[in-house]
Amino acid sequence: MKRSLIASLGLAFLSAAFFTGALSAADSTKPAGGQPDSPVALLGDPQIGYDLLVNKPFLPPDFDEAIFDELWQVWPQPLRQAAQAATPAQRRQMAFDRYGLTTRPETLADDLPGDPLQYVVTEHADGKRTWTMNCFSCHGGTVYGKSYPGAPNNRFALQTMTEELRAIKLKLAKPLTRMDFGSLVIPLGSTHGTTNAVVFGIGLMSRRDADLNLIDEIPSALTHHDMDAPPWWHFSKRPELYIDGFAQRGHRGLMQFTLVPENGPDFYRKHEGDFKHIHSYLMSLKAPRYPLSIDKTLADSGHKIFNNTCASCHGTYGEDSHYPSVRVPLDDIGTDPVRLTALPVAGRQKYADSWFAVGADGKRQQTTIDPDGYVAPPLDGVWASAPYFHNGSVPTLWDVLNPEGRPKIWRRVADEVDESKVGLSVESVDRVPLTQTDIAVRRQYFDTTRFGKSNRGHDYPSTLTAEEKRAVLEYLKTL
């Protein structure tokens, strides 16, 4: 049973293996690559790439829309009572809010929220509409209340939604799918907005040979832990993928998410052109601009401090900008080690030997089999990509710059940006309220004392004065 479940977990995340090393805004001395901020030739058409992501299902469907619209029946009270008294449009919006889904801008409607950005919605001849998860499930969220494709979905509640989908299917006597079974043995994320994606990457690749034929293997061990999804507007700057930078960027690597048993080797050759367009869409994305006021004088001061203290790892910005892609040894950066150790050398080697690790030029890409640390990401749009660190353990940029003040247990309490600290508006608590009967509420809390969720490390800002930290914080708003 366990063997078949692992083999079928490929669609738990439409970009499961791509999430394997989420890039964060605070994890930063060995070069991993690096490139100037210069135009790069695209492999395809960005608009076609976006259309493919939202309209073309590359996997079997997850559930019927009619089932999604009945989810309110298994919600806890008093939420279920409120949903029962609501209109269909209001109930749909309540479901979107509960699970971290957003409406695509191009599908807004008067009577119901439009189609979700995070799912491909397919209408069949019999009128049935099915939903299939896409890459935007984790890489399409909101920037402080505004839907933004490419932003980390820091609200996605996949574990909760899957549990409640399973419950309503059983209530309505509907058949269960791979996600319903798989989530019983492998968690999909213990905190909303995070993903246990490394495990899916390991499990999926273990079931394939170098030519992507199915084989009868399972990994000897799986280390479950949560990750924070990276913003896609970093994609064009990063010559390597993942927080440890072990794999070169390429269109084939984006196809790992489709490694379900139904997709054989012919599938990948047939759809390679689609992913050249998707690759081009990712390459075209740019970070949003900070929408609130900025103290220019203070920011200019922070710019100078940043260039003297932070730019060697995170790069320079503005005229003649450059991103160095520096991998910092774990002993130096000091952030949570679980992500680095959870992906074994054998798993990295399996990727290096596979069809995925061949570039558009037909040459085998370079793969780092045994990286010693994490790569400092670019900071474009850093104000819009909270929370921070590769595991999402730090809610604001102020907390990044003030290691001693980071909250131990926190949860988001508003959509608006925290203007003083720049990041999520949160409350800090002494403990997760285990007496809270709604599991969706409990999963809003981030507990940094749990395995793989530590907020320690990246202590470099401790050398700055309080005034210097405030100046750097103001400068980060301009990126």
The order of strands in the sheet holding 129-133 is 63-64, 129-133, 119-123
Report which residue type is found at 347. G
The confidence score (pLDDT) of residue 239 equals 94
pLDDT of amino acid 185: 81
What does the pLDDT profile of the chain (479 residues) look like in tens digits?
A: 333 433 343 333 333 333 333 333 344 444 454 444 555 678 999 999 999 999 999 999 999 999 999 999 999 999 999 999 999 999 999 999 999 999 987 766 555 678 999 999 999 999 999 999 999 999 999 998 888 999 999 999 999 999 999 999 999 999 998 888 888 888 888 999 998 888 887 888 888 999 999 998 877 778 889 999 999 999 999 999 899 999 999 999 999 888 988 999 999 999 999 999 999 999 999 999 999 999 999 999 999 999 999 999 999 999 889 999 999 999 999 999 999 999 889 889 999 999 999 999 999 999 999 999 999 999 999 999 999 999 999 999 999 999 999 999 999 999 999 999 999 999 999 999 989 999 999 999 999 999 999 999 999 999 999 999 999 999 999 99
Question: Rounded CA gap, 149 and 104, in Å?
Answer: 9
Distance CA 191, CA 169 (A): 24
Query: What CA–CA distances, in Å, run from 63 to 60, 71, 196?
Result: 9, 12, 21
Q: How far apart are CA 367 and CA 440, in angstroms?
A: 39
pLDDT score for 270: 96
* Cα torsion angle, 222, 223, 227, 233, sign: negative
Q: What is the DSSP letter of 304?
A: H
Q: Is residue 431 helix, strand or coil? A: coil
Look up the pTM and report it.
0.90
Task: Pull the structure tokens for residue 249.
Answer: 């960027």
CB 144 within 8 Å of CB 152 = no
Dihedral of CA atoms 406, 408, 414, 418 in degrees, nearest 10, equals 0
pLDDT of amino acid 55: 95
CA distance 150 to 104: 12
Q: Note the pLDDT of residue 18.
A: 34
Report the DSSP pairing between strands 227-228 and 322-323: unpaired
> Tell me, what's the pLDDT at 202?
82
Question: Mapping DSSP to helix (H, G, I), strand (E, B) and coil, where does residue 88 land?
Answer: helix
Domain residue spans of the chain: 2-476
Partners of 31 in the β-ladder: 326
Take residue 126 and report the two structure tokens written for it: 């019999």
How many Å apart are CA 80 and CA 70, to the nearest integer?
11
